[in-house]
Amino acid sequence: MARNLILMIKNKNNKKEKMKKTILTITTVAIASLSYAQKAKVVSAYNYNKAFERSQKCSELKEGLDAINMAIDHEQTKEWAKTWYYRGNLYFNILASKDACKDIDAEALDKATDSYMKALVLNFEDPELKKLDLEKEDGSDIMKFYGALQNKSKVDDEMYTMDIMGRKLPGLAGEHGNAGIDKFQNKDYAGAKESFGKSLMLNQLGGKLDTMMMYNTALAAEYSDDTETAKQIYDGLIMMKYNIDGNGPNLYRSQANLYKKEGNEEKAAEYIKKGRAAYPSDYNLIVAELDGYLKEQKYEEALQNLNLAIENNSSNEVLYFARGTVYEALKNEDNAVADYKKAIELKPNYFDAVFNLGAYYFNKGADKVNEANALPYNETKKFDAVKAEAKVAFEASIPHIEKANEIKPEDVDTANMLIKVYTQTEQYDKAKAIKAKYQ
First to last CA, the chain: 135
pLDDT value at residue 318 = 87
pLDDT value at residue 7 = 43
pLDDT tens sequence across 92-137: 999 998 788 989 999 999 999 999 999 999 999 999 999 989 888 7
DSSP symbol at 188: -
Nearest C-alpha neighbor of 214 from the set 177, 187, 182, 188: 177
Angstrom distance (rounded) from CA 43 to CA 67? 9
Q: Please say if the pLDDT value at position 178 is more than 90.
A: yes
Q: Please say if the pLDDT value at position 90 is more than 90.
A: yes
For the chain, state the CA radius of gyration. Answer: 40
Q: Please say if the pLDDT value at position 25 is more than 50.
A: no
Q: Please say if the pLDDT value at position 439 is more than 80.
A: no
pTM > 0.85: yes or no: no
Superfamily name with CATH number, domain 348-439: Tetratricopeptide repeat domain (1.25.40.10)
pLDDT value at residue 291 = 82
Angle of helix 81-96 versus helix 58-71 axis, rounded to 10: 150
Region 138-165: what's the mean pLDDT? 89
Distances (CA, A) of 61 to 88, 89, 95, 107, 108: 12, 10, 11, 14, 12
Burial 348-375, CB ≥16 within 10 A → b, else e: eebbbbbbbbbbbbbebbbebbeebeee
Q: Which residues contact 201 (CB under 8 A, 6 or more apart)?
A: 134, 135, 142
Region 294-308: what's the mean pLDDT? 87
Angstrom distance (rounded) from CA 272 to CA 265? 11
Share in percent of the chain as helix, strand, coil (round to 5): 80, 0, 20
Average pLDDT over the chain, rounded to whole? Answer: 87
Angstrom distance (rounded) from CA 133 to CA 123? 13
Is the separation of the CB atoms in 85 and 160 below 8 Å? yes
Angstrom distance (rounded) from CA 323 to CA 336? 7
Is the separation of the CB atoms in 46 and 84 below 8 Å? no
Question: Is the CA virtual torsion 268, 270, 275, 280 positive or negative?
Answer: positive
Region 288-315: what's the mean pLDDT? 87
pLDDT value at residue 436 = 87
Region 350-376: what's the mean pLDDT? 91
Is the separation of the CB atoms in 256 and 225 below 8 Å? no
Q: Compute the half-sphere exposure of residue 18: CA atoms within 13 Å on the CB side of its CA.
A: 6
Angstrom distance (rounded) from CA 332 to CA 387? 23
